[in-house]
Amino acid sequence: MGDKTFYQELMEKGYTRRDFLKFCGLMGAMLGLQSTGISQVVDALQTKPRKPVLWYHFQECTCCSESFLRASHPLVGQILLEMISLDYSDTLMAAAGEQAEAVRNQAMKDFYGHYIMIVEGSIPLGSPGYCTIAGRDAKSVFEEGANGAEAIIAWGNCASSGCIQHAYPNPTKTEPVHKIYSGKPIINVQGCPPIADVMAGVITYILTFGKLPELDNMGRPVVFYGRRVHDTCYRRPAYDAGLFVQSFDDENAKKGYCLYYMGCKGPNTFNSCAVIKWNNSVSYPIQSGHGCIGCSEPNFWDYEPLYSHIPYVHGIGIEATADKIGAGLTAVALGGVLAHAVVTNIQKRKLIKNQMDDLSINENEFDKDEKSNIRQQDKIDSQIDDIEKNKDIHKD
């Protein structure tokens, strides 16, 4: 199955060369390639055999697959499924049960060391019963697949950093791919879900250049996760002008002002939502009037609240915002200082009124230091003496 090239596959399915070149141009533009780079894409997709891909689902909601299937440009989704040789995907494949398992085992045997493993979902390390496939626990299925993979693509926030099931208190003790496996190149395609075109771009890059794209130190491809939503947002001028939506139904919301005050996490989030956008490039959350929730950042669920930038502080019984605690502590400090001032006037009355009989300095204190200094001095002196004595002996 892995022998045909992507181009051959497309031609067989009845696409035109024009469609193919359009797709290549689109991908090249998205990856930020020069025009010469696009010919590289064309060349690679015409000559290189399709990459065998095994697509695993663990603890997740399948929204990454959904996103992938709804890729923006009409062809992308369909084309992508042609572009890779998707040998195993338990939610998409026609086969089920033992048949599906047989396909997976066969593909793993045939392409051992050459296939790309796509992981959707995090892997629970608690009870093995939290996530099982064909009666086996997620961890062993994952490790078996990972051992034979050339590279692992962690699709979405679940596989990249655990998403909501990893949020405190993490009842299933679930962990993302990079926390439980190392030794293979791992690429984190972040987002909940990631943008379909980003997913397509990553696969195109790997196919074209035969290596992983440049990653940041969170494992995310820099091309797509190099800039913040905030810095590419069309509402940024409202932010700089200090024009904020104060509640979701006010006049400012209608005017399309900045959602920062409403807790928009665009300033915290590296993603290309504001550039590529979603659903055929129709819109993205902020354009639709809701703040970004930061779904392409690790542990974003744990940084509550969603609708404010002032952090909650956990672990003191009730949840309180940092500023309430800060203001409380400030009040306590002011009160404490006041009380201290009052007590000072009582306790130190004699000192203040100059009526202390005994203001003498405790000379013992200084004696202690003096003694230790003398001891140190003696030690050095005796060392010098010793050396000089030895010298004399040698001379003799």
Kindly identify the residues of this chain, within the stretch 208-237, that bind other proteins according to CB under 8 A. 216-218, 227-228, 231, 237
- Report the distance separating Cα 357 and Cα 334, nearest Å: 33
From candidates 20, 115, 142, 239, binder to other proteins by CB under 8 A: 239
* Closer CB to other proteins, 141 or 286, in the complex: 286
From candidates 242, 280, 305, 319, binder to other proteins by CB under 8 A: 242
- The residue with tokens 């992981």 is 119
- Report the distance separating Cα 246 and Cα 308, nearest Å: 11
Q: Is 50 a binder of other proteins (CB under 8 A)? A: no
- Report the distance separating Cα 266 and Cα 6, nearest Å: 37
Residues 29, 33, 38, 40, Cα dihedral to 10°: -150
**In the complex, least distance from residue 185 CB atom to other proteins, rounded to whole angstroms:** 17
**In the complex, least distance from residue 272 CB atom to other proteins, rounded to whole angstroms:** 14
Q: Is 88 a binder of other proteins (CB under 8 A)? A: no
* Closer CB to other proteins, 98 or 369, in the complex: 369
**In the complex, least distance from residue 284 CB atom to other proteins, rounded to whole angstroms:** 18
* Closer CB to other proteins, 254 or 348, in the complex: 348
Strands 51-57, 115-120: parallel, antiparallel or unpaired by DSSP? parallel
* Closer CB to other proteins, 102 or 337, in the complex: 337
From candidates 106, 279, 352, 389, binder to other proteins by CB under 8 A: 352
- Report the distance separating Cα 229 and Cα 85, nearest Å: 33
Residues 375, 377, 380, 381, Cα dihedral to 10°: -110
In 3D space, the residue among 280, 277, 275, 274 whose CA is nearest the CA of residue 259 turns out to be 274
Q: Rg for the chain (alpha carbons), in Å? A: 33
Binders of other proteins among residues 353 to 372 (CB under 8 A) are 354, 356, 358-359, 361, 363, 366, 368-370
The 267-306 site mask, x for binding other proteins (CB under 8 A), equals xxxx-----------------------x--xxxx-xx---
From candidates 1, 102, 282, 343, binder to other proteins by CB under 8 A: 343
Q: Is 263 a binder of other proteins (CB under 8 A)? A: no
Query: Could you tell me the sign of the dihedral formed by the alpha carbons of 366, 372, 376, 378, in that order?
Result: positive
Binders of other proteins among residues 301 to 330 (CB under 8 A) are 302-303, 309-311, 313, 322-323, 325-326, 329-330
Asked if residue 244 lies in contact with residue 252, where contact means CB atoms within 8 angstroms, the answer is yes
